[in-house]
Structure 1
């Protein structure tokens, strides 16, 4: 997306309208994890068990080049001993923030939670810790748009109250059922224009080629298939999560 936004095919008057709307569809790596516990085990223990022992895990690392792909994405270190937990709370939170403040804000929170979990090693079901990071991140993201908007950012107590409730759970469960019907049993997967499913192992050129085709066409052929399921209204989709204007602003 950054490559397309930074170098549009038409750099003239029409280029500011170039935008992407990214929605993070929930997926559970370990759906049987006990939701009442802050964490279950370390990710190292989880993966060693999953691949039948240390030898099997080492073979998977070599096969998928996880460290190399992380470096290419700008992540110099994955915390292998990060705390693995049920992730319902974090999925509910991402969707809640997106619907309330916009997809650009939920993307900022998603990026922050990637560091929180994959690098810093915190559990995604540690609700007090999650509320602290979310409150801080949402406020910062809103302040970049409008200083006055940041005044309406939720505090830790408000977010913690949400996390201890059940709002948004039905939407997450419905999305998981829809993924199963689509035959999605692993991640990452990318659904573009409501139909094209691209595996996360695809290189950046694959995505650029697809995005350029849409850009040349000047319109999107298919609608968001998870919009209604997750309760995301049309206005949020149209505002997008990554726009050329915001990209240029961040580059200044």
Structure 2
């Protein structure tokens, strides 16, 4: 089974949805599926230097945005699945292009760990994951060869894969993430509960 995960590294619901997927996979047991991590950018217009987080959120969502309301719901939903979110530490809304390129460069078996490392660094520690040096620090902390990866980033090696993912998302018509394509057949959008994934797994097994 192949599972494509379209996600952005500054999307809190992507982190929650990912946790629910892996919980469902653990409950399902059996053969480990092939997971393809696909890049998606919630806002590709964010400049490389990033934007101030809180004021940008207020500008984007208007009167409906509040730290206690919109972000508070994220904190509660994260706590329910054992994930921490500390938006008091988040100062920047980064451009995530470089972080996606770095994910594209690492071996498949390291991608899930690096995605989670980026999520943890951003949402729990407030680190600027739009900054090249910070990204390579996180990669090193995850046990990856940061110097080699930095050289490959500078050569633009991850760019083609990211472009392919973004193009695929446009072609499919994805307008929000997380977005999961399971078995090349079924799609789930949003931070679905584990039960939703298990239902799709059972359906695929029945069809097989």
Q: State the TM-score, normalizing by the size of structure 2.
A: 0.78
> Does residue 47 of structure 1 match 2:57?
yes
Structure 1 stretches lacking a partner, 5+ long: 9-14, 140-152, 220-252
Q: Secondary structure at the match of 2:181?
A: strand
Match of 1:22 in 2: 35
Query: 2: distance between equivalents of 1:185 and 1:163?
Result: 27
Q: Is the CA contact 2:74–2:85 (under 8 Å) kept in the aligned structure 1?
A: no
After TM superposition, list the pairs within 5 Å mapping 1:103-252 onto structure 2: 103-137=108-142, 139=143, 154=145, 156-215=146-205
Q: Select the structure of larger CA radius of gyration.
A: 1
Kindly state the Cα deviation for residue 76 of structure 1 after the two structures are TM-superposed: 3.0
Match of 1:78 in 2: 86
Match of 1:90 in 2: 99
Structure holding more strand per residue: 2
Q: Is the CA contact 1:189–1:199 (under 8 Å) kept in the aligned structure 2?
A: yes
Match of 2:18 in 1: none
Q: Is the CA contact 1:82–1:120 (under 8 Å) kept in the aligned structure 2?
A: no
C-alpha spacing 1:60/1:171, structure 2 compared with 1 (3 Å): farther
Match of 1:2 in 2: 23
Q: Is the CA contact 1:82–1:121 (under 8 Å) kept in the aligned structure 2?
A: yes
Query: Structure 1 residue aligned with 2:73, among 45, 53, 65?
Result: 65
C-alpha spacing 1:199/1:78, structure 2 compared with 1 (3 Å): farther
Structure 2 stretches lacking a partner, 5+ long: 1-21
Kindly state the Cα deviation for residue 64 of structure 1 after the two structures are TM-superposed: 9.2
Match of 2:14 in 1: none
Q: State the TM-score, normalizing by the size of structure 1.
A: 0.65
Q: Is the CA contact 1:109–1:134 (under 8 Å) kept in the aligned structure 2?
A: yes
Kindly state the Cα deviation for residue 69 of structure 1 after the two structures are TM-superposed: 1.3
Q: Is the CA contact 1:4–1:212 (under 8 Å) kept in the aligned structure 2?
A: no
C-alpha spacing 1:136/1:123, structure 2 compared with 1 (3 Å): same
C-alpha spacing 1:47/1:62, structure 2 compared with 1 (3 Å): closer
Number of residue equivalences = 186
Q: Secondary structure at the match of 2:162?
A: helix
Kindly state the Cα deviation for residue 212 of structure 1 after the two structures are TM-superposed: 3.0
